[in-house]
Amino acid sequence: MQSKIKISLRFKFLICYLLLVVLTVGLLNTYGHKLMYQRLLDNAETSIYNEAEEIKSQYLANAYLVKSSITSIRKQLCAIHNATGIRIWISETDGKIIIDSDMQKNKEGYNINEYDSSLLSKQTVNSTNADNLLSDQSFCVVYPVTSGLDISFYIILSLPVNTLHSQAVQNVDAILICYIIISALLFIALLFLYLQTVIPLKSMQQAAKEYAAGHYDYQMPEYAGHDHTDLAGAIQYLATKMKDTNEYQKNFIANVSHDFRSPLTSIKGYTQAMADGTIPPEMQGKYLDIILFEVERLTKLTNNLLSLSEFENKGVPLEISTFDINKELKRCLATFEQRCTQKHISLDITFDAKTSLVDADQSKIEQVIQNLVDNAIKFSNDDSTIEIHTREKNQKVFVSVKDHGIGIPKESLGKVWKRFYKTDLSRGKDKKGTGLGLPITKEIIENHGENINVISTEGVGTEFIFSLPKHTE
């Protein structure tokens, strides 16, 4: 239905364009022709009056010499007639024509008053044939030649109106041809613009609808070299981001469901077993410890999710203070002493400066250190070393946590910052992890306006480096 409406609208625009062209052509052929004829008539009237003035001054200035010079005057008037198409009569005051410039339809000796008694009393007549004295309907100008107060002769000049109509038609036709050519060129230009803009935009609109419906594999036609290539690229980029977001949401829900289901299943199972007496009282302490452990897992997971959500929404204000990052590192590392002893892991701590003051949120940076060192211990091999190093450069303090463990595959390096992401190599070692530690760490550092990077080689080890603003006096 929508397609039919769009086709109908395009058809209506085409019909309107054609109607406009047809109406313009009709207007030019009617009103335009009338205006053109009137203009030619006005020009002809001026020209004929000028011609009459010229004839009077050259041939009829001396009335006494006219009759003796009729042959010569006739010859001159015939030349004017042939050159201009204006027929010239010289008549006496009683209306008798004594000279006619048209030798083929000569009316010399005819009396005008016998055919049209009112003609000589007028100055101009737009269309007359003087009761068939003229062979064609003509525009006439009557110019009296006076001598003192008396009229000596009449100069009657006539121009066939069909000549003026023909000239008007020719002029209008020339305008019409130009108009039709311009209309055709304009149509071609509009068609070109339609093909260059509307068609691609419709394709993009369709693509946007497909992407909005979740069809992210829909292929948008390419429009290389067009002005809207950037727009098409932006839509495709948006579709890619929507696809990634959609996949992320699916994975997020799947991971959250999995990470919540596992401890909840354990809690439910052990609680049910204790309730129905399957687990004897002397064994219940052991399973209560397991239930408490799973509850702590759920609590940690929930808190991490809340923290990450707050950071991403910029809803947690940082409490910036000045503290010694070296001292903070020593304090945090002390909490891992027991775990390091169990795995025979030694901590190699190196500080380039005895004191490195930074401006940051101390509690949040403590969380960053805890996450990074926890990861390092978790994925380090037994009897290995974890190196912690701080150095100052360009008003920054850089903190490095480097282990010599299993490492991260190259293809997984860019994914470690995603929620719940765990590399295949880490899954066997990270049974207690939530997959949220590194995303939270990244959000904390970025909220400080700083950066964190990871360098890793599979089977060799991993190094995390983050920066903090150095305190300036």
Question: What does the pLDDT profile of the chain (473 residues) look like in tens digits?
Answer: 444 445 566 777 788 888 888 898 889 888 888 999 899 889 988 999 998 888 888 877 666 567 668 888 889 899 999 998 899 999 998 999 999 999 898 999 999 998 988 999 888 898 888 888 888 899 999 999 887 788 888 999 999 998 888 888 899 889 889 988 998 898 888 888 777 777 777 777 777 777 777 776 777 777 655 556 666 777 777 777 777 777 767 766 766 676 677 678 878 888 888 888 888 888 888 888 888 877 887 787 777 677 666 666 665 678 899 999 999 999 888 888 888 988 999 999 999 988 999 999 998 898 899 889 988 998 888 889 999 999 999 899 999 999 988 888 888 777 787 766 665 444 444 445 556 778 888 888 888 889 999 998 888 899 999 999 998 87
Residue 208: per-residue pLDDT = 77
Task: Decide: 399 and 468 in contact? Cβ < 8 Å.
Answer: yes
Supply the pLDDT for residue 432. 52
> What is the Cα–Cα distance from 415 to 228, expressed in whole angstroms?
33
What is the phi/psi pair of residue 204, to 5°? -65, -40
Residue 89: the pLDDT is 92
- For residue 62, the surrounding DSSP H or E stretch is none
- Whole-number pLDDT of residue 318: 80
Confidence at residue 242, expressed as pLDDT on a 0 to 100 scale: 77
The phi and psi torsions of 466 (rounded to 5 degrees) equal -130, 160
Q: Which domains does the chain have, with CATH numbers?
A: 2-166 (3.30.450.20), 229-312 (1.10.287.130), 320-469 (3.30.565.10)
Q: What is the pLDDT of residue 391?
A: 94
Residues 34 and 47: their CA atoms lie apart, in Å, by: 20
pTM: 0.47
Give the amino acid at 200. Answer: P
The confidence score (pLDDT) of residue 312 equals: 62
Nearest to 205 by CA among 227, 229, 225, 232: 232
Rounded Cα gap, residues 141 and 155, in angstroms: 8
Q: What is the pLDDT of residue 465?
A: 94
As given in the structure block, the two tokens for residue 137 are 């309907």
